[in-house]
Amino acid sequence: MKFRLKLMTILFLSLCTQVIGQGDSTGMDQFIGDWYGEGHFYNVNFSNEVGMVRFTLRVTTEMEISGSIGDAELTDAEIEVDDWNDGFMIKGTVVGQIFPHNDFQKKRIIIMLNEVQDGVSIGDFHLKSNFIFDFNMRPGGITLHKNP
């Protein structure tokens, strides 16, 4: 009985140490700075219709995020660790017209990014009407480059 209690105590303390130690090692600080890049839509017909979409991001040391998607503004954005996709996720609101000569409109964006390698992060983006489910979601691929 005592052995089992000691073993459970050791396992519990080991787990607590691992969980507490993870708070400072999220890796989100690798995104601090200014970023630019382009994305393309996976739907070939839609991609041919609108072309590439430009992205800019600014991530401050306080993890405040601003930027643009095409001609639209990215607001109310947050970054978090995305354990599901083994990377990072930025969620934000899209304000304005993304493409000046197309009536395509979405209100939300999710950007899923991989670790930064040599100043570059690749991933996916989802332009959506809401954060839950959107039958007309427009997913695509994105490549971001860090400004020196």
Q: Which domains does the chain have, with CATH numbers?
A: 28-146 (2.40.128)
**Higher-pLDDT residue of 137, 24:** 137
Mean pLDDT rounded to a whole number for the chain: 87
102-121: b (≥16 Cβ within 10 Å) or e = eebebebbbbbbeebeeeeb
- β strands within 20-119, DSSP E: 33-41, 53-59, 65-69, 72-82, 87-95, 108-113
The Cα 146–Cα 119 span in angstroms is 5
Q: What is the pTM of this model?
A: 0.79
Question: What would the two tokens of residue 122 be?
Answer: 């690749």
Q: Residue 84: what pLDDT?
A: 86
Taking the C-alpha atoms of residue 34 and residue 137, their distance in angstroms, rounded to an integer, is 27
Dihedral sign of CA atoms 17, 18, 20, 21 in order: positive
- Greatest CA separation found in the chain? 74
Q: How many residues does the chain have?
A: 148
Instruction: Check residue 1 and give its pLDDT.
Output: 61
How many CB atoms neighbour CB 51 within 10 A?
14
Task: Quickly state the pLDDT bin for 17 (edges 50, 70, 90).
Answer: very low
**pLDDT category of residue 134 using cuts at 50, 70 and 90:** confident
Average pLDDT of 5-10?
A: 52
Question: Average pLDDT, stretch 36-42?
Answer: 97
3 residue type, one letter: F
Of 16-30, 63-77, 112-126, 131-145, least confident by mean pLDDT is 16-30
Q: Binning pLDDT at 50, 70 and 90, where does residue 19 land?
A: very low
